[in-house]
Structure 1
Amino acid sequence: MLVVFAVLLGERQGRFGNLQNDLAEGKISSVTVRGEGLLRNETGSVLQTVVWEGGWGITRQDDVRVTTDEDGSGSTSSGPVLSGERDLADYLRRTYPDLTVNTEWDRSSESSILGFRHLPSGLGLALLVVNLVVLLRIVIDRHAWRATRWAWFWAWMFVSPVAVPLFLLLSGPTPFVPAPRNPDRRLTGGWALLLCLFVPGIVSATWAARSW
């Protein structure tokens, strides 16, 4: 349930370049710029965040370095850089007159789950409590279904946002979830450790390639 709330309330990493393409094609009608820009008499650079609704109803965000340097040479940011500007909101309003640009202060007392940022802080606290309860159950329960105690532990260590709901659902007994045909055949700790080390990296690389 917490993961569902993370998807519904959180913000996934996006790309400012993709946003600009969608804005040029008229696919997006409104964005939110988080953070304060530079004043008229100020020079230098500032980091601002733009938030928009992407495909599948997922809210996306990207951090943009706004700098008064025309060529962006004064910025060391590895992300997108907007040169010759003082405020991202002003730039978006001027470049896309039909776009609704909302502004708000940055929110610091928030958490992140599964890469979704800017979640209510209470949701992060609830996730922490659930994680600790699941860890305690893993330590105590020597006869969990489908995987050994060490296998569930490594999953909790490396991919807890995925492992925690899987443990609650599959470690048994769970209503409406059938028991495994062979309870003694379980994923061992060694194999689980290898899967946790390599599978997330492969998935992340595949996701990044698709984002380009």
Structure 2
Amino acid sequence: MHDGTRDHPHHACPSRPTGQGAGRYALLIEALGLVGSVLLLGSSPATYGDLLDGVSGGGVSEVQVSGALPDGSTGYATVSLAWTDQNRNRFAQVVQVSDPSVAVPGGSQRTEVVTRAVADELRALDPSVRVVVTGWPESSTTFAGWRLPSWLPGAALALWVAALVLLANGPQPWWATRWAWFWALFSPAGVVALPLFLLVSGPPPGVPETGHTGRRLTGGWSFLLVCFVGPAVGYLLLDR
């Protein structure tokens, strides 16, 4: 018997991420922030010739020269150069010698050797270029050929540790087992596996956090990929 009341359709409330899901999204945002920091604050490798071409072509307005030989001194010094060309941060190194007969160490043989003060040569090419001469270059680190702010590796390490904690204590990840993601994060390709893990190891925002029902990569196959593919990826990233 109908009681006179009207039945209302049931509307499912949109799912909200659990604490673990929200944590994964937060770490993903941090990872994207680190990538943005690399692009905005990092400097890509270049050559001294690239710098000279940029200055002579008018594309470089300011150059930072660090570590040059003081006037009247003898010997050699490794000079660090930093500049911006077409909105890209660039850097290079040259070895400045006081005399062509000065022997430079073996590790500097791949670096271009100059006898003239770099600042003088840059001003001769374009008197309007601003040359900032400092005693020592700013603190930085190098990864995959790029020069990065010194704080960036510590931030990346903290993010990597947080991802491992999420892997160990979070829900069963999608697409690969815990051990498969573990080996991927410890491989030379971990710099790629980390954002991939944060992106696809669980449902996207708005999707219920149910278990993944499809086939997943197992730890054994992941370990083999790490052994045979990881070194190749690491070589491509690090050998510059």
Q: Give TM-score, length-normalised by structure 2.
A: 0.69
- Residue 192 (structure 2) pairs with residue 162 (structure 1): yes
Report the equivalent of 2:204: 174
- Residue 172 (structure 2) pairs with residue 143 (structure 1): yes
How far is 1:118 from its partner? Answer: 3.9
Structure 2 residue matching 1:40: 3-state secondary structure: coil
- Residue 227 (structure 2) pairs with residue 190 (structure 1): no
For structure 1, the residue ranges without an aligned partner over 5 or more in a row are none
Q: Give TM-score, length-normalised by structure 1.
A: 0.76
- Which of 29, 37, 42 is 1:5 aligned to? 37
CA distance in 1, matches of 2:112, 2:203: 52
CA distance in 2, matches of 1:150, 1:15: 43
**Aligned letter for 2:72?**
N
Report the equivalent of 1:83: 114
Runs of 4+ in 1 over 6 A off after TM superposition: 177-181
- Residue 127 (structure 2) pairs with residue 97 (structure 1): yes
Report the equivalent of 1:41: 72
How far is 1:62 from its partner? Answer: 1.0
Show the 5 A alignment for 1:129-140: 129-140=158-169
- Residue 96 (structure 2) pairs with residue 66 (structure 1): yes
Larger Rg: 1 or 2?
2
For structure 2, the residue ranges without an aligned partner over 5 or more in a row are 1-32
Structure 1 residue matching 2:189: 3-state secondary structure: helix
How far is 1:100 from its partner? Answer: 1.9
Cα RMSD of the aligned pairs, angstroms, is 3.1
Structure 2 residue matching 1:107: 3-state secondary structure: coil
The superposition leaves residues 5-49 of structure 1 with CA deviations (integer Å, 9 ceiling, x where unpaired) of 12111112222222223333333222221x232222211110111
Structure 2 residue matching 1:65: 3-state secondary structure: strand
**Cα separation, partners in 2 of 1:40 and 1:204, compared to 1, 3 Å:** closer
How far is 1:175 from its partner? Answer: 1.4
Structure 1 residue matching 2:137: 3-state secondary structure: coil
**Aligned letter for 2:217?**
R
How far is 1:142 from its partner? Answer: 7.6
Percent identity of the aligned residues? 29
How far is 1:181 from its partner? Answer: 8.1
How far is 1:53 from its partner? Answer: 1.9
Report the equivalent of 1:124: 153
